[in-house]
Amino acid sequence: LLMVLVRSAESWVRPYVGDIFRTILPRIDDGSPQLASKLLDTVAALARVGGSELVPHLDKLLASIMHALSDQSSAPKRMSALKALNNCASHCGLVISPYIKYPQLFTILADLVKTESSDVSLEAIRAIGALGAIDPHQYKAASSKGSSAGSSAGGTVATTDKAALSGKKGAKRGKRGRHAGPPPNVMTVLSSDEHRDTLVGDIVTDSYGREFSGEKYYIRVSIEAILNILNDPAETLAHQQAAQSLISMLGPLQTNGAPFLGRIVPAVLRAMEMAPPSQADFYVEKLGRLVCVSRQLIRPYLEPLFELFDSEAPGTERLQSALVGLVEVLAEALSGDLGSHISTVLPFLVSVIDRDTNESRQVTDRTLHALRILSPSLEGYLFLVMPRLVSLLDLTITPINVTESTLGCISSIVTSVNCNSFASRIILKLIQLLQCSPTHQLQTLVIDTLCTLMEQLQDEFTLFMPMISSTMKKR
């Protein structure tokens, strides 16, 4: 009746799987063959419904299954044991390790395939397939250890079963350390949007029996471990190293790292919030590296990054430089298309230019490079950018190298968007700069910029030709 209930009402029984299993497990070996057969059938049904609840008891269950498989007096009991073994392998992650713990298991299954009826033989084949393939060298080593330990204990399966059931006694004789193997390594990986995963031995499985192995599995475990460190406020001292390791891992992964970006970006931002203000530039640089590595793949997760560009928030020169660098990599990764976020980024860049009071104006120079990358997206925002650029064409307040960068930025913008409304202001400033230009290289750049404007303005440029010609004659 209990087995029928489990099979017929899986969703209702699932919360009680653990209690039911703990109740019937001790009775499997103590009852009659008929009762043991029914109990093993119930175990098979429970494994399919809630396999993760059986994981902590797999050692004892495996010993009972081995005892049932070796019972030659009852064919139904052996059939039920095979079903239980098959379902535990499929839904509880009980793979490979049974061959290591019980080297004689494969021989028993092979004999059942050869000697039993077609139904039992077919179920044995299913169990062999579900248990998976073991490395031949590892199996040979386990078999040699198992045979030597078996001869010293009498060489029977029953002796092995007793040793497995009496863990303390077996540990004193040293058998567990030699051939029984360590207890299953159970590790749970918790995720807010995914099912709970349980690792048994070397194979991970979730509550639905899906297995994960290979390169992607190890990538996932590694990234989960680093994310746990980044999300833990008690590990703030390790956050920088964890962020560095995480970004270094994503480089070689390329597209394989895309499924993790939705959790990595918030984790790095959270670590940045918990860090002292002096470390903010470090995390911004790592976010820039993340964008550079992921490129278009990171587009769905960029919304929180644009919140960093606050034009009114004060910041150190290093932080501003790092944020400008983040704008650069964002623009390059997205081919200059920041969408609606351009209205957030441009006020920030302009504020960086206004606040840069350093004599070298290195942050301004880097900001100009960012504006050159964004130039195709500046249509409709020239009123915000162009006045600041024109004001930089003043050698009394701007170093020559920054002036040259400004000329290059203006040329790039003029080539990309229509600047007719600002043409007169730009040309008049260029003429003034040409009159007081101290180097031949700067003069050449000014003339190149005028030529770029001429290509765009065409006939309208003739209005400025007399003034430009007069200045050129004086120079």
For residue 194, give the DSSP letter. S
Q: Which residue has the tokens 């709970």?
A: 196
Contact criterion met (CB below 8 Å) for 384 and 350 = yes
CA dist., res. 302 & res. 391, Å (int)? 32
Structure tokens at 194: 């995914």
* Predicted confidence pLDDT, tens digits, the chain (475 residues): 666 766 666 666 777 777 787 877 788 877 688 888 888 888 888 877 777 777 777 888 888 888 888 888 888 888 888 888 888 888 787 777 788 788 888 888 888 888 888 888 888 888 888 887 766 666 666 666 655 544 444 444 444 444 333 443 344 344 333 334 443 333 333 333 444 444 444 444 444 444 445 567 778 888 888 998 998 888 889 999 999 988 888 888 877 788 888 889 999 999 999 999 889 999 999 999 999 888 888 888 888 888 888 877 767 888 899 999 999 888 888 776 777 888 889 999 999 998 888 888 889 999 999 999 898 888 888 999 999 999 999 888 889 999 999 999 999 999 999 888 898 999 999 988 988 888 889 989 999 999 999 988 888 888 888 888 888 877 6
Pick from 45, 8, 9, 48: nearest CA to 24 = 45
Following DSSP, what letter does each residue of 42-59 receive, concatenated?
Answer: HHHHHHHHHGGGGGGGHH
Structure tokens at 23: 């109740």
Contact criterion met (CB below 8 Å) for 341 and 305 = no
Residue 154 CB partners (closer than 8 Å, separation 6+): none
Structure tokens at 139: 């199996």
pLDDT of 12 reads: 65
Query: Is the pTM here over 0.85, yes or no?
Result: no
pLDDT of 386 reads: 93
pLDDT of 57 reads: 76
For residue 180, give the DSSP letter. I
